[in-house]
Amino acid sequence: MKTCKASPLENGTGCVVRSSSERMESRAGCVLKGSSERMENAAKRRLAANARERRRMQGLNTAFDRLRKVVPQWGQDKKLSKYETLQMALSYIMALTRILAEAERVSSEREGLSLHCEHFHGDSYHHYPAQKPAADSDPYAHRVFSYHPEHFQIAN
């Protein structure tokens, strides 16, 4: 059982309904008690606004679903709530940003080093240990794949 929320339109009429649609109809009934054309138009506008709001929220939920698909979910069989999805997205973006910044720092260090080597030893930098395949030499790749949800801090 749900009771109509008190509002300026129906203030204190105390009509009782069961479901959302029933509530809506009942509400319309309450509103249209006077049955004036103006009230009828107001009720129509309200219903249209409700439909728009429903569509808007559906769009929002679609966006949340898309976000859930690109955000890590480590073994979570239950889908993330909206709040968790946002927190996870935030943490994920921050983690990726950190990784990118560190990778850039390392690559610029290497660049500086190679220029230095080139100046003194021409081709010797080709044998520099940093030339190993990225997959096993890059510490960041390892960090990405050892990433666990509990490592994400809830941002305040």
Partner DNA sequence: TAGGCCATCTGGTCCT
Partner DNA sequence: AGGACCAGATGGCCTA
- Binding residues for DNA, rule: CB under 7 A, are 1-5, 7-10, 18-21, 23-24, 27, 45-54, 56-58, 61, 81-84
Question: Shortest approach of DNA to residue 25 CB, angstroms?
Answer: 9
- Bridge partner residues of 47 (DSSP): none
State the Cα–Cα distance between residues 134 and 141, nearest whole angstrom: 8
Residue 3: enclosing H or E segment and its boundaries?
A: strand 2-3
Nearest to 83 by CA among 99, 97, 71, 95: 71
Question: Shortest approach of DNA to residue 125 CB, angstroms?
Answer: 53
Question: Shortest approach of DNA to residue 14 CB, angstroms?
Answer: 11
Beta carbon nearer to DNA, 19 or 124:
19
Beta carbon nearer to DNA, 58 or 97:
58
State the Cα–Cα distance between residues 143 and 89, nearest whole angstrom: 18
Contact between 30 and 15 under an 8 Å Cβ cutoff? The reply is yes
Question: Shortest approach of DNA to residue 35 CB, angstroms?
Answer: 17
Contact between 78 and 143 under an 8 Å Cβ cutoff? The reply is no
Beta carbon nearer to DNA, 6 or 134:
6
Beta carbon nearer to DNA, 28 or 99:
28
